[in-house]
Chains A and B, each alone.
Chain A
Amino acid sequence: MPSPALARLRRRIAALEGVGGDGHGPVMPLGLPGFEGIGTGALHEISPAALACDHDGAALGFSAALLGGLVRLMGKPALWLAEGGLPHAPALAGFGLGPERLVVGIAGQPKANLWALEEAARSPALAAVLGEVRGMDFTAARRLHLAARGSGVTVLLLNRAAAAIAPAQTRWRVNGLAGADDRWRLGLLRCRGRSPDERGVVGEWEVEWDGTARRLGLVASTGHRPAVPDAARVA
């Protein structure tokens, strides 16, 4: 059982590092038991289960769901910097990302993309920016993280490389889930302040996107498997 003093210290460290939802900007809850929510003004990484560009429907869907949620939460538009083909706009509209709320960019040279991501992450005019990338070195990711922290813009990186992006606050693995449309198996592989269990995950959920209510819901039959007891969560 952590003492109050230790909890305070943790909060201070977290505040210095710019992680967690501790007064650093609103948190977007996802309705996942055992997970507080996506911290805004931070870096989050989404990793498709299949790295091939054309197999990543589930990861694209989850990314769009997060981005649409952030747009609604912050009341500002978002940027999607696409690589390997644009996302299909009619589907995006179903995630709350109609043309009035989303600007789409086509990635060019890697250097220009990094620049564009950072420029967008720095701009308080945006709610969030999603970048499709193939890995990112520590320095670039750190710069992006700092930019996001300064502006409150949430940065989502859809990473098609196997190597994780170090400074990300959360890292998600997204699999398709058979049985119905828009069903995914989410694996939270990393979450600042939480340690993964013996299977290497912090939490795992089977979810379904509710296009009418525009939110995620748990797939009824399976329930959730929180890997860490609630008491150990970051406050």
Chain B
Amino acid sequence: MSDPALLAIRGLRTWFTTRQGVVKAVDGVDLDVLPGECLGVVGESGSGKTATFLSVLGLVKPPGRIEAGQIIFGGRDLAQLPAAELRALRGRDIAITMQDALTALNPALTVGEQIVETIRAHDRGVAGPAAARARAVELLRLVGMPEPERRLGDYPHQFSGGMRQRVMITIALSCRPKLLIADEPTTALDVTIQAQVLDLIATMRRQLGMSVVLISHNLGVVAEYCDRVALMYAGQVVESGPTRAVIAAPRHPYTQGLLRSMPLLSDPDRPIRPIAGQVPDLIDLPEECRFLPRCPHAADACRHDIRLLPAGAGRWARCVRIAA
């Protein structure tokens, strides 16, 4: 984990206290986002990928709580920041787009009102409503919205899924953030529309020089669009490194299993091998490797708390076999 990172997450624990027990949704996450890079965060449902970045933004709601760890951004620890300062930072320095644009956007306000609201909340340089409106039109044109002036007056339900995702990206980019967190931006979209939206995010990243965290369950999406990848499993990062290198030679048995269980379009006859078993219950997890019950290489040495270990050339893996 090299300096100087734009965002450095260290030992983050975000737990949810429920009647059944404490759900350790994020349990010791170490992660860097470098300036200008696109980092892919991959994991299955419940792996903690969304909870990690909601923690970064201070958007974890009770009963969830950041129990431990640091979130260093711009020299400050966001985990310790007062709510008012976090609020000023959200949207201006770090922005997020949600998976489901239809529920994330306000159905009772026009798209124009929602974009203008964000611009005026953060950007004191924009004088009045007219200037903010002009900026909104310019931004919508930038994200490839046809007839932006006319569409400012439309409500979210009047847009297609792909166009709604563009509206969310517009709102997220309206204050030129340094970091965009895109949480499953294309999961609800068809494959041809998915490609349009991902191309748009890649173009905007280059134009604005920002960093992007692309949260996805789809390793293919991350392989095509991200410089680096971090794989999460049961609340922890189990492997990270340059995307190409990780996919070509995965070091963690979970990453290996995930790649073997995916059918490949270019090689339909390749047998797929499922990972046996299921993701562990996040309540009452023992202090040992979380992948142990499903791992083909399970051994006694795995029955300890395993740390993320350096695995060469900017790579890290949470597996005892790395040290050996």
| A pairs with B | no
Q: Which residues of A contact B (CB under 8 A)?
A: none
